[in-house]
Amino acid sequence: MASLPAQTLFTPETYITQERKALHKSEYLNGQIFAMSGASRAPSLITSNISNRLYNQLMESDCEVHSSDMRVQPSLTAYFYPDVLVACGEPRFADDVFDTLLNPVVIVEVLSPSTAAYDRGEKFEHYQQLTSLQDYILVSQNSCRVEHYRRQDQHWERTEFCAPEDVMSLISIGCKISLHDIYRRVTIAE
């Protein structure tokens, strides 16, 4: 019987050192490094639409909106690149390189068929360890569907939006965004 090759596990320090030199982004979870693929048109448009809408509403506030190039460290064993994030007040970083944020208030992930279960499950479990996080938003790229998880003390309240005229309120940052705005120029199959 053939045996499987031993899996190489990496320390968080090794990951960060390699990631800062890499030409392509990778995420880190429990000792494993996962290469990230590029986005196609729909998720790229959705990410831009959300980022732009939030930026316009937060322009005069103390909040910053970042797209998929800002890394987040939600736990000691995880580093992720959310599609969109918002940090308010004084941003806290893992070190003086200022590329790993520790205190996002809002995180948005655009779901693909291959990542949906992971984004709802294990990734969300790690994000919940961020005491700053108030809103976690999952956006489907294949249908008009947004799941909004809002922190309520020690639990998360889930609301689902499915109609273009639906408007999601992000109380933590004082913003509203309609599904019409999220899916602007995105073709959704009926």
| CATH number, domain with residue 61 | 3.90.1570.10
Q: Spell out the per-residue pLDDT of the chain, length 190, in tens.
A: 455 566 789 999 999 999 999 999 999 999 999 999 877 899 999 999 999 999 999 999 999 999 999 999 999 999 999 999 999 999 999 999 999 999 999 999 999 988 999 999 999 999 999 999 999 999 999 999 999 999 998 899 999 999 999 999 999 999 999 999 999 999 987 6
| CA–CA gap between residue 31 and residue 9 (Å, rounded) | 5
Domain count, the chain: 1
Look at residue 19 and tell me if it is in a domain: no
User: How many CB atoms are located within 10 Å of the residue 185 CB?
Assistant: 10
- The closest alpha carbon to 34, from 48, 53, 19, 45, belongs to 19
Collect all residues with Cβ–Cβ distance below 8 Å to 58 and sequence separation of at least 6: 64, 65, 86, 173, 175
| CA–CA gap between residue 116 and residue 147 (Å, rounded) | 11
Look at residue 93 and tell me if it is in a domain: yes
Task: Report CA-CA distances (Å) from 159 to 5, 156, 174, 180.
Answer: 43, 10, 17, 17
pLDDT for 37: 82
Residue 33 structure tokens: 């490094």
Look at residue 160 and tell me if it is in a domain: yes
Range of 154's domain?
39-182
* Residue pair 82/111 in contact by the 8 Å Cβ criterion: no
